[in-house]
Amino acid sequence: MIIDCHGHYTTAPGAHTEWRQGQLEAFREGRQAPVYPAISDDEIRESIEQNQLRLLRERGSDMTIFSPRASAMGHHEGDERVSVEWSRACNDLIARVAGLFPETFVGVCQLPQSPGADLKASVAELERCVVELGFVGCNLSPDPSGGKWTAPPLTDTYWYPIYEKMVELDVPAMVHVSASINPVFHATGAHYINADTTAFMQFIQGDLFADFPELRLVIPHGGGAVPYHWGRYRGLADMLNKPPLSEHVMKNVFFDTCVYHQPGIDLLFRVIDPGNIVFGSEMVGAVRGKDPETGHYFDDTRRYVDAAGLSAADAAKVYSGNARRVYPRLDQALRARGRK
């Protein structure tokens, strides 16, 4: 079985996106948000069958851990009330996708984070999505400000309420920022990779996992710059008098395979233990075209993993075993369906 841990609903029906625009316009004008539109099951099916589902079948994957479009989370837009409304609308739509395609999609939720706000609303939405909608995790943005980086480090006690709820519910988070309003940082080419790298360094500097030994966090996009500079981070941990990374961070942190060329994937597997790598493609997402050097889609990451020369045991970990370990609620659901 091949489980893709990193999928976003980038092809949501147009009425959903139009409602968001209307919601933000209403906020700016001091009005109530418009009524959320009626979106039919057929519209959802078409948006999935012609896109993610078609590509999953063509590329030989079985299931996607699916969440709202990351670049559209927009925590920096509106206020906390707006963020709550938008997150609930996005998560309810993901639940409908999972309900229509239960063998292929399982939900991960967007949190209604808002700059300067506490995390009570995020805790409540996580619980709703896991308990009522059957979701298996969440996306957690380390920078709700959209590129200004005004939030405390992920090791700060500010974040502890969401970590406590994650541990209670036994769900992980993918550390994933949204759009960047800072023109210095291109969203997917700079802001995303900066966030991945920054999060990892914050984990080195702090002692988060001493307080939350059962917490599990996925850093996407192959861990940002971390594998490429692994010696730097090992050395910094030593200079900061921290334990080796294998003990201090990597019992709790996992990287995905959203790396869009073969040398990058090969490096990832040479540096990072396969037990800490979860298969992902971010399809359909940041890079949608074909590589002119290979003739294949950049985000067809299974091709790279297949060519990485993994042992059968390591391939089984990367393609499904690690995902089932990191997302135990997914494992429980699969076992209930007889997928051992």
CA distance 181 to 117: 19
Residue of 77, 85, 125, 282 with catalytic role: 282
CA distance 296 to 291: 6
43: its two tokens: 């519209």
Cα angle at 270 between 266 and 274, to 5 degrees? Answer: 95
CA distance 52 to 6: 12
Q: Is the dihedral of CA 51, 94, 169, 172 positive or negative?
A: positive
The answer to whether 214 is a known catalytic residue is: no
Catalytic center residues: 282
